[in-house]
Amino acid sequence: MDALFSIQRLSMYQVAVVSLPSGTVAHSMRKLSIATQEEPARVCGQAFRVGYTGSKKTYLALYRLKVKPSPELRAIIPTDLFVLEQGFFHVYTR
């Protein structure tokens, strides 16, 4: 799987297992399981909290994703940081 294809699909990842609509300073978890929109019941990676966009309680948590598209492929770790908004991960832009 090439990097370009991986990055295009990243906006399709959502939180699996835990119901957490948005990750903020006041409400975020250190590690979350993730799944795709197409297969929400199949965990395909993890999101790790690495910081925050600011210090106020309403600022968003920053996550680094580790995605394993299928059992036979190696995990992909994009260089972008992501925020969790409305149950989906989006690339963080300043």
Rounded Cα distance between 90 and 46, Å, is: 14
Enclosing domain of residue 38: 3-91
Q: Mind listing the pLDDT tens digit of every residue in the chain (94 residues)?
A: 333 333 445 555 655 544 555 666 666 788 888 888 777 778 888 899 999 998 888 888 899 999 887 888 898 888 889 988 878 888 898 8
Query: How high is the pLDDT of residue 2?
Result: 36
Domain tally for the chain?
1
| Contact assessment for residue 55 and residue 29, using Cβ atoms and an 8 Å cutoff | no
- pTM, rounded to two decimals: 0.74
Question: Which residues are paired to 80 by β-bridges?
Answer: none
Question: 13: burial class by Cβ within 10 Å (0-12, 13-18, 19+)?
Answer: buried
Query: How high is the pLDDT of residue 7?
Result: 40
Tokens of 1: 């799987």
Tokens of 77: 């770790």
Length of the chain: 94
Name the nearest CA neighbour of 47 among 17, 8, 4: 17
